[in-house]
Amino acid sequence: MNIKHADSNKCIDVRGGERKGNKLQIWDCNGGENQKFAWWEISPHQIHLAAVSGECTDGVQGKCCVDDLGSLGKGSQLGVWDCHIITATSNSGGNQDWGCDNQGDPCDKESGVIKNWSMGPPVGQLCFDIPGGDLTNGNIVWLWDCNGSPNQQWIFEPVEKSFSRDIVVV
């Protein structure tokens, strides 16, 4: 799927391509592999890059997941990192735990906000956000207080299987 800003033709994009530690940014939707994501069937609250690049070699199945890169706080810039399995007894992947509603369900609808879930009610109600609503190519995607603003509204747009190297149920 592409994660597209609701009021534009801008998508969440991995700056510099599919490499561990690279940051998320907003960019014109262009169909590139660095704009294709999927909800992970093994751990349904995780968003991974649909392409399996092997760049995240320490992660489960070599996948790169959307991660807050360690701080899980307001203003944390989002990026990609090795995927960690999130279980009911382990919160080791809380910085990769995302949901779309107050029950923490995976985003199986067509649009909405993306909140940090972290094994319970959304932590401090932090959502994927575009700072200042600035849709200029290259602006970061970060975590910010959930407030329902247009900066936090996303469309989950299916991607044709023929364009993705990973078979994903969306």
CATH number at residue 16: 2.80.10.50
Q: Is 23 helix (H, G, I), strand (E, B) or coil?
A: strand
- Domain of residue 140: give its range: 2-162
CA 26/CA 55 separation, integer angstroms: 22
In a domain, 140, yes or no: yes
Residue with structure tokens 């910085």? 95
* Backbone φ and ψ of 130, nearest 5°: -105, 115
* Backbone φ and ψ of 162, nearest 5°: -65, -15
In a domain, 168, yes or no: no
pLDDT-based confidence at residue 170 (cuts at 50, 70, 90): very low
Q: Do 130 and 26 touch, CB atoms closer than 8 A?
A: yes
What is the total count of domains within the chain? 1
Who contacts 89 (Cβ-Cβ below 8 Å, separation ≥6)? Answer: none
pLDDT tens digits, 40-53: 666 657 788 887 65
Who contacts 48 (Cβ-Cβ below 8 Å, separation ≥6)? Answer: 37, 38, 40, 63, 64, 65, 66, 83
- What's the predicted TM-score (pTM) here? 0.82
Mean of pLDDT values over 130-159: 93
In a domain, 169, yes or no: no
| Whole-number pLDDT of residue 42 | 61
